[in-house]
């Protein structure tokens, strides 16, 4: 199954929120949908869920317009939407039936998911008596109880302790292994890198960058080099004398060197070999996803 978002635009009054968003996601993979607050992520998600239509563009599944009557979409929102004074099992069944799941099937699935998330003991408890992390897990059960084909997770790890985060990681891996389309939205970049091969970064209602994380990093690093040494101050002094070195910044792993366009690691290695400086290592610098995110969203389009 392939989900395609094609040339989506959306205006609210005179405000243009989405300005031609296009990306795709496929079964058995997780796509990272990233952007600063207000970039257009939530609007994109709501259009996929058909909560409101785009002004132009379309959402397709396998080349046909997405119908939520045929394709089940499960959404775990950042802002939780359950009933605090209702018992857990009662509302799990309620939300499942809203999605057309028969009550007996809903009970069976609820028990299985509660057991999987180590929450069985809370099935007759009111939601408000649970910790924030356990409420988060109940929200996930609500999302998955209808066995959705497309699973959208918005900040799913927010508020979870390390043990529960590990449990949720296992569930996400299972969803991917089961061939679901998983769209993962989070500001916790370590989770994006762990689960997603591909990302889409939205900035100012437009796609700032998209594609495979490894390819984005590879293109990003062409002018960045990591130099390692036991004497960073001496190396920084030497680097300052090289005319094609644009910037040299000390970081935990060494010195991150930015080269002017037209120069690469071979040029730097050649220049450093001529100078009296001790170098223990030199390699292409691989930025973190957080650095890439900041770079592409620092200034709005």
Q: pLDDT tens-digit profile of 118-148?
A: 999 999 999 999 998 899 999 999 999 999 9
Looking only at the bridges linking them, the beta strands covering 181-185 and 150-154 are parallel
Please compute the mean of the pLDDT values over residues 293-298 and round it to a whole number: 88
Looking only at the bridges linking them, the beta strands covering 254-259 and 196-203 are unpaired
**How far are the Cα atoms of 147, 159, 173, 240, 290 from residue 246, in angstroms, in the given order?**
53, 41, 42, 9, 22
Q: pLDDT tens-digit profile of 65-122?
A: 999 889 999 999 887 789 999 999 999 999 999 999 999 999 999 999 999 999 999 9
> What integer pLDDT is reported at residue 301 of this predicted model?
42
Please compute the mean of the pLDDT values over residues 180-185 and round it to a whole number: 95
Please compute the mean of the pLDDT values over residues 182-194 and round it to a whole number: 91
Beta bridge partners of 211: 199
18-22, 267-271, 274-278: least confident range: 274-278
Beta bridge partners of 199: 32, 211
pTM: predicted TM-score of the whole model, two decimal places:
0.86
Distance of CA 249 to the CA centre of its chain: 28
Share of the chain above pLDDT 90, in %: 72
Is-contact 114 123, C-beta < 8 A? yes
Who wins on pLDDT, 245 or 78?
245
Please compute the mean of the pLDDT values over residues 49-54 and round it to a whole number: 94
């Amino acid at each position: 199954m392939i989900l395609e978002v094609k040339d989506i635009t959306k205006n609210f009054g005179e405000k243009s929120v989405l300005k031609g968003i296009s990306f795709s996601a496929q079964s058995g993979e997780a796509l990272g949908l990233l952007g600063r607050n207000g970039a257009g992520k939530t609007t994109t998600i709501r259009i996929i869920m058909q909560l409101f239509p785009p002004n132009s563009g379309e959402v397709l599944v396998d080349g046909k317009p997405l119908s939520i009557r045929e394709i089940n979409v499960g959404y775990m929102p950042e802002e939780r939407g359950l009933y605090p004074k209702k018992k857990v099992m009662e509302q799990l069944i309620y939300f499942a039936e809203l999605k057309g799941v028969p009550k007996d099937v809903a009970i069976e699935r609820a028990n299985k998911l509660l057991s999987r998330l180590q929450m069985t003991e809370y099935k007759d408890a009111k939601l408000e008596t649970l910790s924030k992390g356990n409420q988060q897990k109940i929200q996930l059960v609500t999302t998955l109880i209808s066995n959705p084909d497309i699973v959208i997770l918005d900040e799913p790890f927010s508020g979870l302790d390390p043990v529960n985060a590990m449990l949720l990681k296992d569930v996400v891996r299972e969803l991917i292994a089961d061939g679901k389309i998983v769209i993962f939205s989070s500001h916790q970049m370590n989770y994006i890198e762990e689960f997603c091969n591909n990302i889409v970064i939205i900035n100012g209602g437009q796609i700032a960058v998209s594609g495979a994380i490894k390819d984005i990093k590879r293109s990003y690093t062409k002018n960045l080099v990591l130099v390692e040494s036991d004497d960073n101050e001496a190396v920084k002094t030497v680097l300052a004398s090289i005319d094609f070195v644009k910037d040299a910044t000390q970081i935990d792993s060494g010195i991150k060197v930015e080269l002017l366009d037209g120069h690469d690691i071979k040029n730097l290695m050649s220049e450093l070999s001529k100078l009296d400086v001790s170098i223990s290592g030199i390699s292409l610098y691989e930025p973190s996803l957080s650095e890439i995110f900041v770079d592409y969203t620092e200034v709005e389009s």
